[in-house]
Amino acid sequence: MIAFPPCKINLGLNVLEKRNDGYHNLETCFYPIPLTDILEILPSQQLSFIPTGTVIPGDSTDNLCLRAYALLQKTFDIPPADIHLHKVIPTGAGLGGGSSDAAYTLRLLNDLFALQLTTDQLSHYAQQLGSDCSFFIQDEAMLGKGRGEILEPVHFSLSGKYLVLVKPAVHVSTAEAYRGVIPQAAKQSVKSILENTSLPNWKGVLKNDFEASVFNSHPIIKHYKEKLYELGAVYASMSGSGSSVFGIFDHPIEYADEALIWSGMLTR
């Protein structure tokens, strides 16, 4: 079985408060975009994981795909499998590629071995793998609260708009991003902005709380956001804790830059 795990951008990201467990309560909108990895899982005589494409940092034996397999194996007597992940989505970019791969591993294993897990059950497993993993169990924009694992539908669409996604050659760790942010109550909720404010009025209202400190430490990221606005973006923002930046346009644009990751029309 083959699947194409997509990545996401964050439309707004409010860091509301630090929790007693060390995590933070957030509010954001996860929006899927059609830049994907390629994941193939087949029954096998022994478990194997083969990564290709973009190099994945860290120990491959601890990859989230293998952790997803091990998580299901605790409950179900699933046979060994060959897991082949061709990595396209850049890592450390605030795009959730690793979380998507993990969620789609759960989905493929569920289908391949007829585990008959419901969406809610898959989401429960996904939450154990990462804060935003459960978002990728479904294929639609969702409002994320809590650590990002509490999801609800948000009623708006960017279908027909054009997206330009760039990633400067810098790395922003999640820990670094959180060290620089000051949690605070939001003046207006992400949900309210998305459902009641037209896209041309998002600028200056729909904010990513990580931007201030990340831009201060990595001005090249701010440069790319400003460049997207100069090119005519209706709205531009850093995704997640960075370092990728996206711009939303009303029409396709010619854009050539070594930082370009993906550009195209959104269809959902």
* Together in a domain, 132 and 166: no
Which one, of 118, 128, 150, 148, lies nearest residue 74 by Cα? 128
* Together in a domain, 22 and 140: yes
To the query of whether residue 74 is one of the catalytic residues in this protein, the response is no
Full domain range(s) for residue 44? 2-153
To the query of whether residue 59 is one of the catalytic residues in this protein, the response is no
Residue bearing tokens 């711009």? 247
HSE at residue 117, side-chain half, CA atoms within 13 A, is 22
Give the CATH number, domain containing residue 134. 3.30.230.10
* Together in a domain, 131 and 228: no
Handedness of CA 153, 204, 237, 94 (dihedral sign): negative
Q: Which of 8, 145, 167, 191 is catalytic?
A: 8
Q: Which of 37, 87, 101, 132 is catalytic?
A: 132
Omega cis (within 30) before 243: yes
- The amino acid at residue 186 is A
- Long-range contacts: 215-219, Cβ < 8 Å, 24+? 216/180, 217/172, 217/176, 217/180, 218/168, 218/170, 218/172, 218/242, 218/243
Query: pLDDT tens digits, the chain, 268 residues: what are they?
Result: 999 999 999 999 999 998 888 788 999 999 999 999 999 999 999 999 999 999 988 888 889 999 999 999 999 999 999 999 999 999 989 999 999 999 999 999 999 999 999 999 999 999 999 989 999 999 899 999 999 999 999 988 999 999 999 999 998 888 888 888 889 989 899 999 999 999 999 999 999 999 999 999 999 999 999 999 999 999 999 999 989 999 999 999 988 899 999 999 998 8
Counting the structural domains of the chain, the total is 2
